[in-house]
Structure 1
């Protein structure tokens, strides 16, 4: 019996793959991060307000000896991620400037994404919901255009559709998608028409996923400023939902209703343009530079990855910074 073999040859394109030398370098760096304690130390150094950590600071992360801590730090330093400086009897470590982007991407984007749970059922539900959503978005755009008669109808329609498109890339598709789109579109239209010379000061908090730090900071401003400062938040790559740890904190700060309505939002140029102050939290290079807008960068930990004690410490750190920011804005 003769078997006919397929004659169409596979022609894979391998020229776009990472180079051998680069792959070896990256693999070595990833190997150095395969230990959970090293990842925690890297996170502690990256988010320390001083921009560096002493060996004695990092010893509190685990019940291990100081020589063990020093060993792990030397492994990270050998890959080029850390720089060190001896001052007296102690050695201080900081993130190497050339590696800061890689460390930020690891801690702020990859790590939270790696801890998410996804299922085939969620994907099927999402696909089914998408098939019925377009007509509802069109109706929402018509309703808002009828209501906001002072704005160009085509502009309102475009903002509604752009808002839906921005949210649907990452948000969970539930029965709440249309209300979320309406809230986001209204916020964008308010940003688009805001006069920064009039009204109360407005602050925009931006992190990568808008699921943790930026949400928490905005909630604290809204609580502590008592309406004298408006706070909003956004993410350069929004997550599907606010992290449970942060939602619990928002419940304590603003109440259950506000916590339930919080959702990750994509960053827009209009939001930056409307703000008096933009505070970045690990994603400073993604924000457009708008003349007249003040920019700050806060190095704070990610509550999505922290222990309960760490979450409390991060909240206290952000609250202290928020109080200072509010005082500055109201004084100015």
Structure 2
């Protein structure tokens, strides 16, 4: 077997060496960077930063991913920064972390392509809930969706399917329904990419960090009132594995359970929305001209009793009704839910 050291271009990006094994020098340069990533928490941090609408995060954001202390989180970030994976910027008293430009594409590709392949490659009786042949399934899904969205390039449709799958697979809470959820999520994203605001229905995006409580409730209530008159989306910057059990019971009563699974927040969802509503949980969305932003200070159902969840749902019900009356004055709303 022929070995070769990957030639380094003037811009610092390695040129491809397809068909050749890595040489000793290249392997020696590559190994410390991979070692700096080889920790579950560090991979989650990189994933969180990569998936963030602003492509950055501060220590306080990343500390929410773990029960470890903030100094320990800072140590992990320091390891990745010293390896060249992360860039930093101080604003006020906070340090913000982003993927270093040199590594941004490579890390994003690793998280969006390699990670779901690993997750779905472990098939057999000992892994009954994992789905085989992810690439083939995603290619088939992309072909079907490409026929629904002929104005979009096939490459973009396939990339959207892969990114949607990767984003949902990271939470690992959907199980056997992963591909069905991927199809629904990818179709929503493609609809958002092709939305023509001229004469189209109003579109609302509800956002909370985990997309497992408040935003799911608000979206379900809005759908129950508006039906097809309003396009309703929900998402979170750090999606949970599943909807909070107490919230799921309310969603079941509203009849929207099939649509209720946590989804990552994407730029295309924000850009397609007429109104973006955060839930007082500190989530930050990209600022897009022409989009209306509101922040609703609503209690967290994850911390509430059954009666507390009901009270939160009632609060959201009143807020959603007022929103719909503003967006769709001709919509006949019932007196009570």
Q: How high is the TM-score relative to the length of structure 2?
A: 0.58
Contact 1:215 1:233 in 2 (8 A): yes
Q: Which residue of 2 aligns with 1:141?
A: 142
Which protein shows a greater Rg?
Answer: 1
1:53-68 aligned within 5 A: none
2:184 counterpart of 1:186: no
CA offsets 1:283-319 (integer angstroms, 9 cap, x no match)? 4552000000000001111112211111111111111
CA distance in 2, matches of 1:199, 1:124: 39
Q: Which residue of 1 aligns with 2:6?
A: none
2:205 counterpart of 1:204: yes
Decide whether aligned partners of structure 1 residues 184 and 124 sit closer, same or farther in structure 2, where only a CA change above 3 A counts.
Answer: closer
CA distance in 2, matches of 1:156, 1:295: 29
Q: Which residue of 2 aligns with 1:86?
A: none
2:219 counterpart of 1:221: no
CA distance in 2, matches of 1:249, 1:159: 31
Decide whether aligned partners of structure 1 residues 307 and 126 sit closer, same or farther in structure 2, where only a CA change above 3 A counts.
Answer: farther
Classify the secondary structure of the residue corresponding to 1:304: helix
Decide whether aligned partners of structure 1 residues 206 and 285 sit closer, same or farther in structure 2, where only a CA change above 3 A counts.
Answer: closer
Question: Where does structure 1 lack aligned partners over 5 or more consecutive residues?
Answer: 1-100, 112-122
Decide whether aligned partners of structure 1 residues 318 and 127 sit closer, same or farther in structure 2, where only a CA change above 3 A counts.
Answer: farther
Decide whether aligned partners of structure 1 residues 261 and 321 sit closer, same or farther in structure 2, where only a CA change above 3 A counts.
Answer: closer
1:13-32 aligned within 5 A: none
CA distance in 2, matches of 1:221, 1:205: 10
Q: Which residue of 2 aligns with 1:317?
A: 315
Higher relative contact order (CA 8 A, sep 6+): 1
2:154 counterpart of 1:156: no
1:187 is displaced (CA, Å) by 0.1
Decide whether aligned partners of structure 1 residues 109 and 327 sit closer, same or farther in structure 2, where only a CA change above 3 A counts.
Answer: farther
CA distance in 2, matches of 1:331, 1:296: 19
1:135 is displaced (CA, Å) by 2.4
CA distance in 2, matches of 1:164, 1:125: 11
2:296 counterpart of 1:295: no
1:251 is displaced (CA, Å) by 1.4
Q: How many residues align?
A: 216
CA offsets 1:97-144 (integer angstroms, 9 cap, x no match)? xxxx96x999x8779xxxxxxxxxxx9999542664232222222232
Q: Which residue of 1 aligns with 2:276?
A: 278
1:190 is displaced (CA, Å) by 0.3
1:38-117 aligned within 5 A: none
Decide whether aligned partners of structure 1 residues 166 and 192 sit closer, same or farther in structure 2, where only a CA change above 3 A counts.
Answer: same
TM-align CA RMSD: 2.8
CA distance in 1, matches of 2:268, 2:314: 30
Q: How high is the TM-score relative to the length of structure 1?
A: 0.59
Question: Where does structure 2 lack aligned partners over 5 or more consecutive residues?
Answer: 1-58, 68-117, 124-129, 331-337
CA offsets 1:60-87 (integer angstroms, 9 cap, x no match)? xxxxxxxxxxxxxxxxxxxxxxxxxxxx
CA distance in 2, matches of 1:268, 1:124: 22
Contact 1:202 1:275 in 2 (8 A): yes
CA offsets 1:219-239 (integer angstroms, 9 cap, x no match)? 101112243222110001001
